[in-house]
Structure 1
Amino acid sequence: MDGETAVRAYQLEDGPRERLLRLGASALRIDELLACIMQSGNGRQNVYAIAQSVVDHLGGLDALADIEVAELLQIPGIGRAKAVQIAAAVELGRRIARKPATEKRQIRTADDAAKYVMDRMRYLKKEHFVTLLLDTRHHVLAEDTSSIGSLDASIVHPREIFRRAVRCSASGILCVHNHPSGDPSPSPEDIAVTKRLVEAGRLLGIDVLDHIVIGDGRYVSLRAAGYLDHG
């Protein structure tokens, strides 16, 4: 059997779809999972070559977690249909990572908050500022993504942060944002925004329980660091 025949035999007899059926999705590499999602080639390249192009372009799973259709369309072999397939699969993963509001997840500690958002925020390529709205027993009533981009006081404004908290009759809020660098050390801007929100919450009677900075598998609680102390 020559090399080309051997590859064809692998694709037919033990390709990603067959291995997924036999071993489960967790046994597949990233390129194999992408091949399963895209299903077919484009007439010039087979689906395995296109999947490898995606992996080579992205450099790994981290970038895939925050991929957009426009970026996918820049990859050789990816047209609109395949870009939509990949983007939809990624979005499903994001939504699965979120706990449904109907579960009323309870946030008792900074560690609870970090675990609640870590899997969906640690790989984001831009800073996302998320506000968790909590009831008197610290159950999550809802959550808002208040801003996307560099964190400063002009972007994260108390008016926007507390508007929905008032509408939901939230007893408190817990703020979370990520650092795309992977280092969760709070910046001077992080600290300034936190203090401003604490003061605004005090006037409204809504507690700012904590501000968690998410890194790559690590986090920092600004309350634990002493930045939410009443002055």
Structure 2
Amino acid sequence: MGINHWPEGERPREKLLTLGAQALSDAELLAIFLRVGVKGRSAVDLARDLLSRFGGLRPLLEANQSAFCQAHGLGAAKFAQLQATLELSRRHLAAQLARGNALTSPALVRHYLRSQLRHLGHEEFAVLFLDTQHRIIRYEALFRGTLDSASVYPRDVAKRALELNAGAVILAHNHPSGVAEPSDADRRITERLSQALGLFDVRVLDHFVVGDADVISFAERGWL
């Protein structure tokens, strides 16, 4: 039976408008995104099938185009729509950060960095450049690949900070293994960057390591 024949209070779209998006299950939210089902399956049925196929919402949202489009009921148009939706979410988080002091919104900073880095299959080192009042100037990914003391160049980070007239920075990188625990190399990189940027009166406020479930802060551990 199609969703149109369901009781109004059980239809995902009407339920969202009445109770708010947080009241919906993953399958119901995905059904709204899908809009329609396939022959013999409602949009909610199809959503449940897809969540089962991919192993949950996150693997579905992070699937590459080839894997995504192979699933029944999906295709290139849906993939493009999903990527646009995810990018809108990231830009919304960035806009929220830009309106205020980054240090007064640590949870928002964590959420934003997780949205930028957690899904990547490679290591990426990024910097949030801040003004002297710790408001966001720009987020930039500067280095990619296996990170060690030889692959992250303090002079390049310092040069970019000066170009943007930054007064402080927040460093961030991900661990594709999913384990956020910082390595000795992570600590050495942070120390070298702090020393180099300090020569230009640019403070390193924190370094976040993004894992699968956790985001670890160097500042919270007393390492900065």
Alignment correspondent of 2:119: 125
Displacement after TM superposition at 1:186 (Å): 0.9
Tell me: CA distance 1:137–1:68, structure 2 relative to 1, closer, same or farther (3 Å).
same
The one-letter code matched in structure 2 to 1:219 is: I
Name the SS of the counterpart of 1:73 in structure 2.
helix
3-state SS of 1:151 partner: coil
TM-score when normalising by structure 2: 0.78
- Root mean square deviation of aligned Cα: 3.2
Q: Structure 1 residue 176 and structure 2 residue 168: aligned?
A: no
Q: Percent identity?
A: 32
| Residues 1:220 and 2:217 are matched in the alignment | yes
Instruction: Quote how far apart the aligned CAs of 1:168 are.
Output: 1.4
Per-residue CA deviation, residues 115-170 of structure 1 (Å, 9 max, x unaligned), is 23322344613344321212223232222122354433444322432333111111
Q: Which has the larger radius of gyration?
A: 1
Which of 99, 107, 127 is equivalent to 1:103?
99
Contact 1:133 1:174 in 2 (8 A): yes
Residues in 1 aligned to 2:220 and 2:64: alpha-carbon distance in whole angstroms: 34
Larger mean Cα displacement after TM superposition, 40-49 or 74-83: 40-49
Identify which of 16, 28, 32 aligns with 2:28: 32
Q: For this pair of structures, how many residues does the alignment match?
A: 219
CA distance in 2, matches of 1:166, 1:65: 37
Alpha carbons 1:41, 1:47 under 8 Å: kept: yes
Distance (Å, rounded) in 1 between the aligned partners of 2:220 and 2:18:
48
Residue deviations 1:8-55 (CA, integer Å, cap 9, x gap): 733877332232233222111111111111211355754334322331
Paired residues of 2:128 and 2:138 also in contact (CA < 8 A): yes
Distance 2:34 2:7 in 1: 15
1:65, CA displacement in angstroms? 5.3
State the SS of the aligned residue for 1:107.
helix
Q: Is the 8 A contact 2:101 2:133 kept in 1?
A: no
Task: Choose 19-28 or 153-162, whichever is displaced more.
Answer: 153-162
Q: Does 1:163 align with 2:155?
A: no
- 2:48 alignment partner, SS class: helix
> Structure 1 length normalisation: TM-score?
0.76
